[in-house]
Structures are given as C-alpha cells and as structure tokens.
A and B are shown apart, each in its own frame.
Chain A
Amino acid sequence: MVTSGQRYFKVKGDTIAEAFHNLFESFPQLRIHILDESDSIRQHILVYADDSDIRWTEGLSTPITDCQELTVIQAVSGG
C-alpha cells in the first residue's frame, strides 16, 4: 500500500544500506516496515543479495553492484 502496489524497484547504491536509503527517498512510509528504531533490519525480515542472506555477509554494509538483485521477504516460520 505504501508503494501503491509496486513490488519491483530499480535503486542505486554502493551498499545495501544506501540502496534502501534511496528506496525510502521515493517511498518514505516504507521505511518503518523494513527497519526498526535502531536502523536495523526488522527481526522477521530477511534480505538477500542475489542468493546470499545478508545476515551472513556484512549486513546492511554489504557492498553491492549495479546489476545485483535484492530480495526482501518476510520470515514466516515456526509454529
């Protein structure tokens, strides 16, 4: 809803943090749903750079290149 239904975005940035920052410039209301008060990725959200979970790389500081694909998914697990 905060993106008017748009699900795919082209964004620039040298790191994942920069890419998100640029995304939130266009969709400021999206920010609170991805990042928490400490500017960390929310606990139940996973971010992949191509096929790599950024929790196992350098997190938001992970360097990225122009042609990489970032995927944000909700971690629905447990029961």
Chain B
Amino acid sequence: MSVTLLVGTIKGAFVIRSNSDRTAWELEDLIFKGWKVTAATRAVDGTFFIGTASDIYGPAIQRSTDLKQWEQVKRGPQFDESLGRKLNQIWFISTKGDTYYAGADEAGLFQSRDGGNTWKAVNGLNDHDTRPGWRPGAGGLCAHAFLRDPSNPDRMWCGISAVGVFRTDDGGATWSPKNSGVQVIIPDENNSEIGYCVHALTHDPENPDVIWQQNHRGMYRTTDGGDHWESIQNGLPSTFGFPLERDPHTGSLFCFPQESDEFRVPVDGKCRVYRSHDNGDSWHPLGTGLPKKGFYGSVLRGAMAVDELASCGVYFGTTSGTMHMSKDCGDTWITFDEVFPRILCVSAFISSEID
C-alpha cells in the first residue's frame, strides 16, 4: 500500500509518494509554489483541503479532488471587519463530521455546513468572555488544535496557544476553559482559567475523553475530557515540544521533545522521536536511522503525521527542511533524499484512495 505525503512548507507544498511497501519515496509534484501551505486534510468524500497563506496576498482555503487541480473555496474564514481582528493563517481544517471546522491565527474557529464552500465564525469561542485576556505566544495567537467526539457531535475541544484548551458540549454555542492541572505559562491578572500554552492535542476516538496534550510546560493526559490533567513526563528528556500523534491501531503515541522554549532544538542535537506504548505512562526514544548528532532542526506542531495503516507509518518534517519516514511504528527510519524549505505541516494519505 503506497502512501502520499503532502509536505507543506513556507514556499509551497511538496507531494511525495512511496512505493507499495513504503521503502522508497519520490517527489511527485510541487503545488502552490511560493505560497505557505499551512494545513492539509481530506474529507470523507475524498476532497482534499489545504490552507494557503502569503505575506502579500493573505490566507485562503483551497480544495481539490486529485491534489492537482485546485480551487479556492467560495467564502473562506473571515472575521467581521468591525472586530478589528486579522486573519493571518489557517492552522487546521477538520472534515471528520458533517460540519467542517477550521482554526486560524488570529485566534478564531470557523465552521462550514456546506462541504467547505462557505465558512462562518464560531462566535461562542471567538468572542469568549476571556478573550480580552488572550495574549499571543511566540507562534502567534492561534487556534491550532481541534478534537471532536465521534459519538457526540456537540462535544468538541479546541486548543489556543498561550490561552489553553476549551471544550463545548452544546455544538459550539458555549465553551469552557479546561486547563485544571496544567502549569500556567502567562498568568492573566483577571482570569486564572487562561494563560495555558497548549501545543498539540490527540485523543482516542473510541474513548474520546482520554486526551493527551503536548504543552509548553510538558506532556499531559486527561481521562475525563479535560476536567483534570496530569503530568506524564516519565522518560521524556524535556518538557518542551510541539507535535503529538497517535496510531489508532496500537494506541502508540509519538512526540518530538525539544530543548526548552528558549532554544527549541532537539535535546543534545539528537534527532529523536519519543514513543509511548502505554498511553503515556512511559516514553522511549526512537533513533534508528535518524541523525544521531549535530541535528538542530525542530519539528513544528503540524509537521508530524501517521498514516493509519496496520503497520503504522510515522512521518515528520523539520524546520531545516528534512523529511523522515518510518513504516514500522517508529522502530526504524529513513530520510528523504531532497531537502525542502522550512516544513510547516505534514499530512499522510493512502495513495490507493487518491488514484
């Protein structure tokens, strides 16, 4: 089974495809050359969606049925001009249910009920009572993480950097901060429920209240939908990192620890993914085939993906432009021959479902 990776960079998205056993990869295409490609996903009906951005022309959502011919959606996420907010980047596009969601910088959540053609703001979150206290982190003020309960479309979670995790139980009408047990990063003088720097979220779709969080201050887990979080650092060499992925078949978790928020490079210059086989109770380094020393590229929050095949493929790209692939749940790795611009996001698609 071959896999297609869409590697979004600051200068376009590189489409690379594996052979049938995922041992060799070839560059197939470069799309949106010169534009940032910041997010990618595929809907149940097979339509691909990507977020593009340009320092000159601004952000947009594009869609395609074949990764070749693209069209900009009719009306993408936009803030009402009276709010004085600025849309800088699409951080995620979630197409798993009937209603699609997209997260953006400046922090905003948007929804589409017509297959991604038109989008409107989710004001229950965007105009939250705590918004006056929202402050941007180093990566901006961005709504970048999103989970939904597959069995209850009214229950969703959204993560906003330097603000925290919010949950809705009424389809997005109201949202509550869910950060109890997480170490605060920037205390707000008026509201102790915000100031928590979530970097990534993942969960078990079959037990969606079990959620893992890579935070600015460490790795956390909740078993009650975010009401309480616990630290799960056992085996990790640092508390800082961005991506967090989960293989739905084995439940294995993958992260990429980095040396502190000040340096943001792999610890000791070793390019290593850490994996947990026990729901985050313990973490172990994976480095077979990865650069063993002198590696100082970091991995951004969207730049790791799993492919959901039975023998899980794990993929990550770095700010140095290198792409690394594993076909065996992270046990061994290969590095792609070509070096890309700074990698912003990586998404994996089963090729047979594209052709």
List residues 29-70 of chain A with CB under 8 A from any CB of chain B: 29, 32-34, 36-39, 42, 44-45
The answer to whether A45 and B74 touch (CB under 8 A), given A37-B81, A37-B85, is no
Contact A33 B57 (CB under 8 A): yes
Nearest-neighbor residue (CB-CB) of A74 within chain B: B56
B70 A44 Cβ-Cβ under 8 A: no
Chain B residues contacting A34 (CB-CB under 8 Å) are 57
Bound-complex Cα distance A22 to B85 (A): 26
CA distance A74 to B35 in the complex (A): 13
- Smallest distance from the beta carbon of A57 to chain B beta carbons, Å? 22
For B79, list chain A residues within 8 Å (CB): 37
Q: Which residue among A28, A37, A39, A76 has the maximum number of chain B CB atoms within 10 Å of its CB?
A: A37
B73 CB contacts on chain A under 8 angstroms: 29
B interface, how many residues as a size bin?
20 to 34
Query: Is there contact, CB below 8 Å, between A44 and B78?
Result: no
Chain A residues near B85 (CB, 8 Å)? 37
Chain B residues within an 8 Å CB radius of A2 = 72
B71 at the interface (CB under 8 A from A): yes
Given A1-B70, A28-B74, A37-B86, A45 and B81 touching (CB < 8 A)?
no
Asked if B46 is an interface residue, CB under 8 A from chain A, the answer is: no
The docked-state distance in angstroms from the alpha carbon of A45 to that of B58 is 11
Given the interface contacts A2-B72, A28-B74, A44-B55, does A33 sit within 8 Å of B81 by beta carbon? no
Interface of chain A, main secondary structure? loop
Asked if A1 contacts B57 (CB within 8 A), the reply is no
Closest B residue, CB atoms, query A2:
B72
Query: Which interface class (under 10, 10 to 19, 20 to 34, 35 or more) fits A?
Result: 10 to 19
- Say whether B165 faces chain A, with CB atoms less than 8 Å apart: no
Which residue in A1, A36, A39 is a CB contact (below 8 Å) of B58?
A36
Confirm or deny: B76 has a beta carbon within 8 angstroms of a beta carbon on chain A.
Answer: yes
Contact of A44 among B56, B76, B81, B84 (CB under 8 A): B56
Question: A14 vs B78: C-alpha distance in the bound complex, in angstroms?
Answer: 28
Contact among A28, A32, A42, A76 with B60 in the assembled complex (CB-CB below 8 Å): A32
Interface residues of B in 59-85 (CB under 8 A from A): 59-60, 62, 70-76, 78-79, 81, 83-85
A37 vs B54: C-alpha distance when bound (angstroms): 15
Considering the complex, give the chain B residue whose CB is closest to the CB of A75. Answer: B56
CB neighbours (8 Å) of B62 from chain A are 1
Q: In whole Å, how far is A10's beta carbon from the nearest beta carbon of chain B?
A: 23
User: Least Cβ distance of A58 to chain B in Å?
Assistant: 21
Shortest Cβ distance from A35 into B: residue: B58
Chain A hits for B290, CB < 8 A: none
Per-residue B-contact encoding for A1-13, CB less than 8 Å = 1, 0 else: 1100000000000
Q: What distance in Å separates the Cβ of A1 from its nearest Cβ neighbour in chain B?
A: 6
Q: Is B87 an interface residue (CB 8 A)?
A: yes
Partner of B71 from A1, A42, A44, A75 at Cβ < 8 Å: A1
**Distance between B12 CB and nearest chain A CB, rounded to angstroms:** 13
The answer to whether A39 and B81 touch across the interface, beta carbons within 8 angstroms, is: yes
Cα A65 to Cα B79 in complex, Å, equals 33
- State which of A1, A29, A38 has its C-beta within 8 Å of the C-beta of B81: A38
List, in ascending order, chain A residues with CB within 8 A of B74's CB. 28-29
Q: Which B residues are CB-close (under 8 A) to A38?
A: 81, 84
Mind listing 7 A-B residue pairs with CB under 8 Å? A32-B76, A32-B78, A33-B54, A36-B86, A37-B79, A37-B81, A42-B56
Using a CB–CB cutoff of 8 Å, the interface residues on chain A facing chain B are 1-2, 28-29, 32-34, 36-39, 42, 44-45, 74-76
Q: Which 6 A-B pairs have the closest CB atoms?
A: A33-B57, A44-B56, A29-B72, A74-B56, A37-B81, A2-B72
Name 13 extra pairs, CB < 8 A, besides A1-B72, A28-B74, A44-B56. Answer: A1-B70, A29-B72, A29-B73, A32-B59, A32-B60, A33-B57, A36-B58, A37-B81, A37-B84, A37-B86, A42-B58, A44-B55, A45-B57
